[in-house]
Structure 1
């Protein structure tokens, strides 16, 4: 599977993401600067974490208005798989590719620690390497990860099985409604998640629980 990592000013997790995709897939992803004119013909587009444009206005708000996001939106509409992690999740919601919003953490503090995640839906390209109900470890590092959606939208997300990951065992680090840690779009080919699976893919990281996300995607 061919993949690409899209980089915006202020992101700081692109090297981690490139390393994860290369190590697990065996082929380095294309690295695309947000102002590049073209996006290669790929099967997977990844927007990594960080603080695009310094999180000015709102986290992800400026990056979401980049012309590159129009290209990503068009690819997603054609069925290309898109993954946004942390700031990438924020960018996808701001761009309208995913429902809901990511607000300031309930504690009003930056959180950086390991949490527990329950696999709420194992029938997606992003989670097929796990079992439904399985609980895994995954690190988080964010200040604006508090997922919120209005009642009607939240009901649709839940009813459509769009929740892929939930914070488990009382480890919700930000106050996200329904303990939501990661969701897909209605079609199921675009996912955003706040935790960082790319930082838990080999024993040297302290575990390999994040590896199955990339193994499943890259084997698709």
Structure 2
């Protein structure tokens, strides 16, 4: 996932609502009386754009991603934009293992939807709980079942700028409810004027909100708030009720 394609990620995400995600996190911190710099673990941090935003606000951020190539870009970007040395770790979120706990864990941009198996989603939620401080907060968004079953199948999108182009097609996975495959084709102009093509296949899966809530409760979380936005993303806000 995002190997050579890591270099195209920011092009793919050029309209991603990073500022809106940051505003959501800021609102949650304010509503839960968390003031001042927080220790934040950003799981699925990608190329570090969100980490840069929160680090510039003074938060102590750590980033985790399964792609070493994405983390290499994140390291350069964060150093350039914040003049700080980022704390980054290449890990699978279902096997998360870090030496400290955090005030806040964020899992944004439907990163949790890349965990396909039910047992792995449950394991990831338990790992998040273990890595939170007492009364810590987990913030994540996932695609709704409606989006996965009605909007993504047959979805097609194209974008381009002066040097790069993208074609994105999505298909339902038969016999796996709530799962889709995204075929991404990137085209980059070379010095010869010809275009280099790079293809990636991404698989995502989502579950019913009641299922996520049940898994969160089983992991030990005590307070759950669910918000559905106009883009059919479902945001689940969690606070741990006891120390891990």
TM-score interval w.r.t. the shorter chain? Answer: 0.3 to 0.5
Higher relative contact order (CA 8 A, sep 6+): 1
TM-score by length of 1: 0.34
1 or 2, which has the higher helix percentage? 2
1 or 2, which has the higher strand percentage? 2
